[in-house]
C-alpha cells in the first residue's frame, strides 16, 4: 500500500512540475523570448545578441529523430529563402 501511495504522489508531483514549464503557444510573427544558450566555451549567449534585429531560424533536432531528419530539407529551403535577411 505504501508503494502505491508513493507512486501516486510521485506521479502527481511530476505532472505538477511539468505544468509549471508549459508555455502559451507562440503565434507567427510574435517576438521570440530572449533564450540563453551556452557556447562550446561555456559562455552564455542570448538570442537577442545573435539576432540583432535579423531573422533567426532555430531548429532543434537529433540525429536519431526520424521526423526531425525528414524536415531537414524544409529547414534548408527556409534558410535559402531568408538568408539575405539574417
Domain count for the chain: 1
Per the domain annotation, does 32 fall within a domain? Answer: no
Per the domain annotation, does 77 fall within a domain? Answer: yes
Tell which residue, 45, 27, 28, has the closest CA to residue 36.
45
Per the domain annotation, does 31 fall within a domain? Answer: no
Per the domain annotation, does 18 fall within a domain? Answer: no
Per the domain annotation, does 78 fall within a domain? Answer: yes
What pLDDT, in 10s, does the model give residues 42-74?
999 888 888 887 877 888 888 898 888 888 898
What pLDDT, in 10s, does the model give residues 7-49?
544 555 555 444 545 566 778 888 778 888 888 899 998 888 8
Q: Residue 69's domain spans which residues?
A: 52-86
What residues contact 47, with CB distance under 8 A and at least 6 apart? 32, 33, 34, 35, 36, 37, 56, 58
Per the domain annotation, does 20 fall within a domain? Answer: no
What residues contact 63, with CB distance under 8 A and at least 6 apart? 69
Q: With 0.95 as the threshold, say if the pTM is over it.
A: no
Amino acid at each position: 500500500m505504501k508503494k502505491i501511495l508513493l507512486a501516486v504522489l510521485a506521479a502527481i508531483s511530476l505532472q505538477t512540475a511539468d505544468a509549471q514549464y508549459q508555455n502559451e503557444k507562440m503565434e507567427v510573427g510574435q517576438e521570440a523570448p530572449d533564450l540563453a544558450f551556452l557556447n562550446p566555451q561555456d559562455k552564455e549567449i542570448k538570442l537577442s545578441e545573435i539576432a540583432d534585429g535579423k531573422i533567426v531560424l532555430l531548429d532543434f533536432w537529433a540525429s536519431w529523430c526520424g521526423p526531425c531528419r525528414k524536415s531537414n530539407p524544409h529547414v534548408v529551403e527556409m534558410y535559402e529563402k531568408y538568408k539575405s535577411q539574417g
